Amino acid sequence: MEKKLTKEEVLHVAELARIAVTDEEIKKYQVELKKLLDDVEKINEVEGYDDEILIAPWSNHTDLREDAEGEMLEPKQVLENAPRHSGNYIQVPVVIGESEGA
């Protein structure tokens, strides 16, 4: 088994996390991330782990909510915690590309 991740693997993870890393940090994470992954790998050694999807350590089911409107925030309150806004919109630096979700 490899002792560390490749530089490309670290850069890929950094890109997904949208963080910049220095060469020194890359070297550090090549080892540290690998160690973390190896620890997580140990879960696979537990017998029967794959039998069912575990969501939470309890077995109760979801309570459904009635489709009825509740209180909402005023736009002013929404904007209070935003560093910048433009009219009622929250403003962020332009992001190239489209939504990843949905």
Partner 1 sequence: MSNYIATIGVEVHVELKTKTKIFSNSKNGYGQMANSLTNVIDLGYPGTLPTLNEEVLNLAIKAATVLNCKIRPEIHFDRKNYFYPDNPKNYQITQFATPIGYDGYVEIEVDGEKKKVYIEEMHIEEDTCKSTHRGVKTLLDFNRAGVPLIEIVTKPCMTNSKEAKAYLEKLKELLFYSDISDCKMEEGSMRADANVSIRKKESDPFGTKAEIKNIGSISNVGVSIEKEIERQAKIYDKGETFKPQTRRYDDKLGDTVLMRVKETGNDYRYFPEPDIPFVIVTDERIKNVKKTIPMLPDERREKYLSLGVSEINTTKLIQNRNLSDYFNHLLEEKISHQTASNLLLGDISAYLNKTEKDITDTTLSKERFIELVNLVSNSTLTSKNLKEILEIILESKDSIQSIMKSQGIENITDDKEIREVIQKIISENPESVEDYKNGHDRAIKYLMGQVMKETKGKANPKMANDILKEELQ
- Determine the size of the site formed for partner 1 (CB under 8 A): 42
Min dist CB 14 to partner 1, Å, is: 11
Q: Closest Cα to residue 21, out of 40, 39, 38, 5?
A: 5
**Could you give the C-alpha distances from 73 to 48, 68, 88, 91, 92, in angstroms and in order?**
46, 16, 13, 18, 20
Residues in the chain: 102
Binding positions for partner 1, 17-36, rule CB under 8 A: 17-18
Min dist CB 54 to partner 1, Å, is: 7
**Could you give the C-alpha distances from 34 to 14, 37, 40, 41, in angstroms and in order?**
14, 5, 10, 10
Binding positions for partner 1, 26-85, rule CB under 8 A: 53-56, 58, 60-75, 78-79
Closer CB to partner 1, 1 or 56, in the complex? 56
Asked if 1 touches partner 1 (CB under 8 A), the answer is: no
Site for partner 1, rule CB under 8 A:
16-18, 53-56, 58, 60-75, 78-79, 86-95, 97-102
